[in-house]
Structure 1
Amino acid sequence: MAAPAEGSLRRFSLAIDAMGGDHAPDSVLDGLELAAERHPQAQFLLFGDEARLRDALARRPRAAKICVLRHAPDAIPGDMKPTQALRQGRKSSMRMAIDAVASGEASGVVSAGNTGALMALAKIVIKTMPEISRPALAAIAPSLRGDVVMLDLGANVQCDARNLVEFTIMGDAFARAVLGLPSPTIGLLNVGSEELKGDDRVREAAEVLRGHAGLNFHGFVEGHDISAGTVDVVVTDGFTGNVALKTGEGVYKLMRELLKQVFTSSIPARMGYLLARPALERLREWMDPRRYNGAILLGLNGVVVKSHGGTDATGFAHAVDVAMDMVTHGFTQTIRESLSQLAAASSPVAIPPIVAQQD
């Protein structure tokens, strides 16, 4: 498909990095084929090797109908350092997709490519909102009471009180837009639920959040509260959040392996598996990592979604779903409005000032 004429005011729903990921472009295009069923009115700007993508799209008619190709001669490999991507990736599919968001041609970007490169390029090209000191990486996780939003998951290893307050506002807006919750409950991850627990930055952030009437702040939560679904949004620094995320992934793999061992240990166990199979299938679908694919870099002047590099079509389609939800519900504007409300709130504790920090 031909690109629109230069000077056109056409705005695309999303820019897609077709060459990012372990199985690109096939997994990306297969994902867009699924996404086309859910978002038939969307228009995606697809960046990558035009000759290769044109032939591949011909075999995926639904994706071809909603995509416009834009040739990108290069692709950023998974092992490229972020600094190299900034210097050498100007003609890459990832950089050109991000450029489309920065210029206003697209409302958001989805990529399954190099995580470090995507974060670095997005922060430099799309830029952080003036009201936000640092963007945060967020994702959805399962719990006993439904889906839970977690952030930050690794974008900021060290955080201060202001960062945590901003993460809370962004997590609240994300839960409203993507999970459809009118008043999501929010908790700060801590070593205990008592008000005196934790370090100064966590207690200071909690004091600010308690004085903000626009947020449904629950208070402090502990690690076990994540899977219990005690709150809808769990806020922490990037170091703790990444450890919690990887721990959860490890527990899921352990549970899956133990179940496999149990049900293959004997003939009676195999017979038990046959009886339990329908329930186990429901559990597998509920815990399917593809259902939770799509980490979001919050706090930028545009929607940026990172798909897992090794995902398949189902997982990439879910990442597109997340991005479309954010675009449709005006996520970026919602964050700005929430920050304005916080600044104007008649709270005895003002939001901590932005302190210059080293990346």
Structure 2
Amino acid sequence: MSQRLTIALDAMGGDKGPDMVIAGADIARERHPQVHYLLFGDTARIEPLLAQRPALRAVAEVRHTPDAVAGDAKPSVALRAGRQSSMRLAIDSVAGGQAACVVSAGNTGALMAMAKFVLKTIPGIDRPAIASFFPTLRGESVMLDLGANTECQPENLVQFAVMGAVFARTALNLSEPTIGVLNIGSEEVKGNEVVRAAATRLREMPLPGRFHGFVEGNDIATGTVDVIVTDGFTGNVALKTAEGTAKLFTEFLRRTFQSSWTARLGYLLARGAFKRLKQRTDPRRYNGAMFLGLRGVCVKSHGGTDAIGFANAIGVAYNLAANGFNDRIKEEMQRLADAKPLPDTKAAAV
């Protein structure tokens, strides 16, 4: 990709901002040398960090912001009182056309509230959804929603499926991604009215992919489908469960290899294999959750990530912006509207 674009960064977001943000931007600069950065935050803290990285300084512009959104701030309070915060002004730069996308490691709820208020939703999309990657036995999959919408109607899940399929085609380069609705069983009679009504509609639609049907929790890791659709409550529980299981497995391995001298010897002999395993399951590799459905690319980085993880989040934003992701969603929604008006799936669920 040779397209030059500008990325806005909330330099004060995250547990270790702005140090982590600036270090991550410098790593991303090496991967995407054609990118220009708008850094929003406290100039007094950002400029000394940039002085240590002259190559990044040459492609970055600092815009001073007096405020930053606290990690524990309520979304409503942040939206009302954070108009001059680094997060809000970074989002504003996307709405104003000064930047192609925004990346923040700050407060998730505040970021979603601000982004939805400022950027608005794409025509045909009622609610934005949080999407991210999951490692699977087959490679990677996309899952949404991961926490933005705790309660959904069938039409929300239908829209999530369309956005997720376009996301998979753009980010994973899949020509015909498979789509599944997360349920408590794969049979058509399983689940509540919402998921059954959504599945009925998805079976009838000319999707930008192929509808597989219902999938269960164990299908997430096996990679049964490329796109997993669910409500934000279930998706967030699945995400946190997967993260906790990964940490538990890592701790079990550490304790096992420290249990005896023969175990330590076994680790030394298999060190190369374990290094590859660590790289494959490294959460930093999958950092960067996209807020799908907004009229601008907005990517949320994990607040506790390091520079490598933040650089990967920047890479997600760059890939989506450079490939016209939002334009593709608009085209798909218009194509579906032209093909056949969406029925009242809310009524079908009653």
For normalisation by structure 2, the TM-score amounts to 0.95
1:164 corresponds in structure 2 to: 157
Verify: 1:51 aligned to 2:27, yes or no: no
- Conserved in 1, the CA contact under 8 Å of 2:9 and 2:90? yes
- Conserved in 1, the CA contact under 8 Å of 2:66 and 2:85? yes
- Counterpart-to-counterpart distance in 2, 1:153 and 1:159: 12
Query: Which of 11, 14, 17 matches 2:10?
Result: 17
Query: Which residues in structure 2 correspond to 1:222-301 (within 5 Å)?
Result: 222-301=216-295
Secondary structure of the equivalent of 2:274?
helix
More displaced 10-residue stretch of structure 1: 173-182 or 297-306: 173-182
1:8 corresponds in structure 2 to: none
1:5 corresponds in structure 2 to: none
Cα displacement (A) at 1:344: 2.4
Secondary structure of the equivalent of 1:187?
strand
1:3 corresponds in structure 2 to: none
Cα displacement (A) at 1:233: 0.7
Is there any run of 5+ residues in structure 1 with no aligned partner, and where? 1-10
1:324 corresponds in structure 2 to: 318
Verify: 1:212 aligned to 2:205, yes or no: yes
Supply the AA of the counterpart residue of 1:196: V
2:344 corresponds in structure 1 to: 352
- Counterpart-to-counterpart distance in 2, 1:55 and 1:272: 46
- Conserved in 2, the CA contact under 8 Å of 1:193 and 1:221? yes
- Conserved in 1, the CA contact under 8 Å of 2:142 and 2:228? yes
- Conserved in 1, the CA contact under 8 Å of 2:5 and 2:34? no
2:188 corresponds in structure 1 to: 195
- Conserved in 1, the CA contact under 8 Å of 2:5 and 2:99? yes
- Counterpart-to-counterpart distance in 2, 1:177 and 1:253: 30
Aligned residues: 343
1:97-150 Cα distance to aligned partner (Å, 9 max, x none): 011111122121100111111111111111112311111011111010001101
Verify: 1:88 aligned to 2:81, yes or no: yes
Cα displacement (A) at 1:50: 1.7
- Counterpart-to-counterpart distance in 2, 1:122 and 1:332: 14
Return closer, same or farther for 1:354/1:73 CA change in 2, 3 Å cut-off. Answer: farther
Is there any run of 5+ residues in structure 2 with no aligned partner, and where? none
Cα displacement (A) at 1:346: 4.8
Cα displacement (A) at 1:90: 1.1
Query: Which of 330, 333, 340 matches 1:339?
Result: 333
More displaced 10-residue stretch of structure 1: 147-156 or 210-219: 210-219
- Conserved in 2, the CA contact under 8 Å of 1:189 and 1:236? yes
Cα displacement (A) at 1:345: 2.6
* Cα RMSD, aligned residues only: 1.5
Cα displacement (A) at 1:198: 1.4
More displaced 10-residue stretch of structure 1: 309-318 or 199-208: 199-208
Cα displacement (A) at 1:185: 0.9
Supply the AA of the counterpart residue of 1:271: L
- Counterpart-to-counterpart distance in 2, 1:309 and 1:268: 39
Supply the AA of the counterpart residue of 1:263: F
Cα displacement (A) at 1:61: 2.1
